[in-house]
Amino acid sequence: MFVRTESLSQFLKLYPVVSALVLIHAVVFILTSLPGQLGDTVMSTMLGVNFLISAGEWWRLVSPIFAHADLWHVLFNTFSLVLFAPALERMLGHVQFIVVYLLTGIIANLVTWLIQPPIYMSVGASGAIFGLFGLYAAILLIFKERAPMELRQVILPLLVISVIMTFFSANVNVTAHIAGLAAGMLIGLFIFNKSNQK
C-alpha cells in the first residue's frame, strides 16, 4: 500500500493528481526561490497572511497549500504525498481525491485565519497532508479489523508521532495540522461509512 514499486511512467499514469501536485510543488518552489524581487513577490503573493485574508484576499486560503518555506519543507511534504496519497487517489478516484485534498487544506487555512492573530502567516501543504492522515484514521475507525494490516501498522504510529511532533516542533502551524486532521477524519467518516453501507 505504501511501498512504491511503479516505474515513473506507471506512477504518472496511475496517479495523475498526485503527480500534478508534485509538479506544482516543484514549480512553485523554483519560482519562490528565484533571486531578487521576483521570488519574493511570488512568495508574498502565496503566503497565508491573516489580515490580508480579512481584507478580501481570499485566494490566500488556497495558495499556501502549494508553496513552502524552504527546501526541507517542500521535500518532506512532497515525500509524504508520494508515499501516502497514491492509495487514496486509487481508492477515491481522481476527482474525489483532489476535491478532498483541497478541501482539507482550505479548511486548515480557514481555521488558522479564524483562530490565529491578524499578523499570523503560514505556508505549506501540511494541513492537506494531515487531511490525508485523517482519511486513513477514518478507514481504521470504520473498517477496524477489515482494514489492511499494513495500514494499521503504519498509520496508527504515524498519526501518534505526527501529532506529538506538531506540538514540539518549531515554526509549525499547529492549528492547520489539527484542523486538517479533523477535517480529513470527518470527511472520511462520511465517505467511507457511506460506501461501507452499500
Would you please indicate which residues are annotated as catalytic (active-site) residues?
126, 177
* 112 closest CA partner among 43, 67, 177: 177
Cell, residue 19: 503527480
* Cβ–Cβ under 8 Å, residues 81 and 105: no
Q: How many CB atoms lie within 10 A of CB 13?
A: 11
In angstroms, the CA 33 to CA 8 distance is: 26
User: In one letter, which amino acid is 177?
Assistant: H
Cell, residue 159: 498519526
At residue 120's C-alpha, the angle toward residues 127 and 133, to 5°, is: 10
CA torsion, points 75, 99, 183, 24, in degrees to nearest 10?
A: 20
